[in-house]
Each structure stands twice: as structure tokens, then as C-alpha cells.
Amino acid sequence: MAEGFAKAHGADVLEAQSAGIAPALAVVPLTHMVMLEKNIDLGDCYPKELNRLQTNVDLVVNMSGYELKLQNPVAMEEWYVDDPIGESEEVFREVRDEIERRVLRLIDTLRSRKAVASETGSNAERVDSQGRPTRQ
């Protein structure tokens, strides 16, 4: 869900990749259904293995509820979001809406930092959503 919202609303400031500590081979049909209600088609998206995506990443958003042991140091945000698997359509919608709010907030933060950086000149240091320097 987060990857879908990020790609739909924030492609100008981020490149989203979905990953997991125990990734699935496919996204459950109910996830596709509730995302289509927001006009977002997840297509053939599915979460990849986290360790495969750790190169050239500026920020990891952890929604697993577990401490992540990453191979490379990277900025991390912890989002405490319920896992809707096995729950009702309504729970899927509630989780979808919570993820959407958080993704839009992250996108707004990144856009405001991008605007400040462009106002101060191209030599401005890039930062993540928590104000820490990122890799160039």
C-alpha cells in the first residue's frame, strides 16, 4: 500500500520500493481491491526481500513492528500500523487510510525540504525526512 501511494503521489521527491522481513510472493486480492477504491492499481507489485533493496537507500520506513538489523546504516522511520491480513474489508480500509496519511505527510516533508534546498541554492545538503544528511 505504501509503495502504491508513494508512487502515485510523490514520484517527484522519492522512489519507493516495497520490501519485507518475510516478504510475500504476491499482494493479497483484498489489498488490490481497497487500493483500487483510491484509484491506485498495484499491478504486479509485491514486497521484495529487504536485504536485496538496501543499496543506495536514503530512508527505510519500518512497518513490521520488529527491530530491523540492516546491513548498511540508513535513516529509519518507525510506523506502527496494524497488519490487516486475515481481517475484514473495513480493517483493510482503515489500514490503507492510515498508510495514506503517513505517506502523504512524508511526501509533504520531502517537498518542503526540496523547496528550501532550491531556495538556498544547489549546494544545499540533501536530508531525509528526519533532517539527517543523505548520500548523494
At residue 130, the pLDDT reads 53
Domains of the chain: 2-120 (3.40.50.2300)
List, in order, residues 6 or more apart from 83 with CB less than 8 Å away: 65, 95
Q: Which pLDDT score, from 0 to 100, does residue 61 have?
A: 93
Please report which helix (H) or strand (E) contains residue 10, including its range.
helix 2-10
Q: Return the pLDDT at 19.
A: 84
Q: Within the chain, which residues score under 50 in pLDDT?
A: 136
Per 3-state DSSP, what percentage of the chain is helix, strand, and coil (rounded to 5)?
Answer: 40, 10, 50
- The per-residue pLDDT for 125 is 56
H/E segment holding residue 19:
strand 19-20
pLDDT at 31: 94
Q: Measuring CA to CA, which residue among 37, 4, 31, 27 is closest to residue 91?
A: 31
pLDDT value at residue 68 = 85
Distance, in Å, from the CA atom of 110 to the CA atom of 114, rounded to the nearest integer, reads 6
pLDDT recorded at residue 12:
93
